[in-house]
C-alpha cells in the first residue's frame, strides 16, 4: 500500500479491514513509533526483543490495515492466569475499535492456552480504556500507588475471572458480533 493510499484508508471513517498477526521483529519499528506516541516512558527495542524470545510464556500481536501496523498488544501467561502487559493503538485511529479487536484476540489466546483469569493495570485517569476493559468483564481489584512514576499516577488493577467458561465465551462472541467488520487472524 503506498503512503498516499495508507493515509486515505486511515482517514476514511468506514469500517477498517483489520488483520491481526503475531508480532515479529520486523514489526518493531512501527510498534515503537506508536509506543513513543502513547506512553511517556516507552518500551525499548531490547525489551520487546526479550519478550518475543519467550513464546512459551508470551503472546504478542499486531493489528494491521493494509501493510501498516496500527496497534499491538501483549500477554504474559502464568500457571492459570494471563497478564495483559501492553495494548496500544495509533492515536490517529482511536475510535475504530482496534483495542477491542486486539483484546478479543488476546482473550481468545489466553483461553486456548488454559488460562482461567486475566489481569492488567491501567492508569486511573484512563477512563476510556477502563470502560473497554469492563466490557470484557474486568473489574477493579485494587490500586498500585505511583505505578506510573514518570507521570506520578496510580494504576487501577483489574481482573476478569472464569474466562474459560461458557458465559465468558458468550461475552467475547457478543463483543465480536458488533464490530463493524470482521477481524482476519493470520498465525
Within the chain, what is the greatest distance between any pair of CA atoms?
A: 46
Residue 34 CB-density burial (10 A; 0-12 exposed, 13-18 middle, 19+ buried): buried
pLDDT digit string, tens, across residues 117-136: 999 999 999 999 999 999 99
Percentage of the chain beyond pLDDT 90 is 85
**Backbone phi and psi for residue 12, each to the nearest 5 degrees, phi listed first:** -70, 125
Domain 17-179 superfamily per CATH: Gcn5-related N-acetyltransferase (GNAT) (3.40.630.30)
Strands annotated E in the chain: 18-22, 58-65, 68-77, 81-89, 117-123, 139-148, 153-161, 183-185
Q: pLDDT digits over 73-107, tens only? A: 999 999 999 999 999 999 999 989 999 999 999 99
Task: Say which of 48, 72, 133, 168 is annotated catalytic.
Answer: 133
Short-list 106, 5, 93, CA closest to 59: 106
16 or 108: whose pLDDT is higher?
A: 108
- Write down the pLDDT at residue 3: 39
Q: Quick one: 102 exposed, middle or buried, by C-beta within 10 A (0-12, 13-18, 19+)? A: buried
Q: Which of 72, 121, 148, 168 is catalytic?
A: 121
Region 137-157: mean pLDDT is 95
- Residue 72 annotated to the active site: no
Domain ranges of the chain: 17-179
Q: How far apart are CA 97 and CA 157, in angstroms?
A: 22
pLDDT tens-place string over residues 23-76: 999 999 999 999 999 998 999 999 999 999 999 999 999 999 999 999 999 999
Q: Tell me, yes or no, if 121 is annotated catalytic.
A: yes
Looking up cell 477502563 gives 130
Amino acid at each position: 500500500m503506498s503512503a498516499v493510499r495508507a493515509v486515505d484508508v486511515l482517514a476514511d471513517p468506514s469500517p477498517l479491514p483489520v488483520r491481526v498477526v503475531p508480532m515479529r521483529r520486523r514489526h518493531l519499528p512501527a510498534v515503537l513509533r506508536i509506543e513513543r506516541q502513547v506512553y511517556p516512558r516507552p518500551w525499548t527495542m531490547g525489551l520487546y526483543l526479550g519478550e518475543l524470545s519467550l513464546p512459551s510464556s508470551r503472546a504478542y500481536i499486531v493489528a494491521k490495515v493494509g501493510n501498516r501496523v496500527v496497534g499491538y498488544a501483549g500477554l504474559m501467561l502464568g500457571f492459570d492466569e494471563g497478564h495483559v502487559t501492553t495494548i496500544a493503538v495509533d492515536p490517529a485511529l482511536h475510535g475504530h475499535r482496534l483495542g477491542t479487536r486486539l483484546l478479543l484476540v488476546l482473550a481468545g489466546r489466553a483461553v486456548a492456552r488454559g488460562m482461567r483469569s486475566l489481569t492488567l493495570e491501567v492508569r486511573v485517569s484512563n477512563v476510556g480504556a477502563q470502560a473497554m476493559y469492563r466490557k470484557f468483564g474486568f473489574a477493579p481489584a485494587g490500586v498500585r500507588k505511583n505505578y506510573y512514576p514518570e507521570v506520578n499516577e496510580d494504576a487501577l488493577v483489574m481482573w476478569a475471572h472464569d474466562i474459560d467458561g461458557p458465559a465468558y465465551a458468550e461475552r467475547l462472541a457478543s463483543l465480536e458480533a458488533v464490530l463493524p467488520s470482521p477481524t482476519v487472524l493470520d498465525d
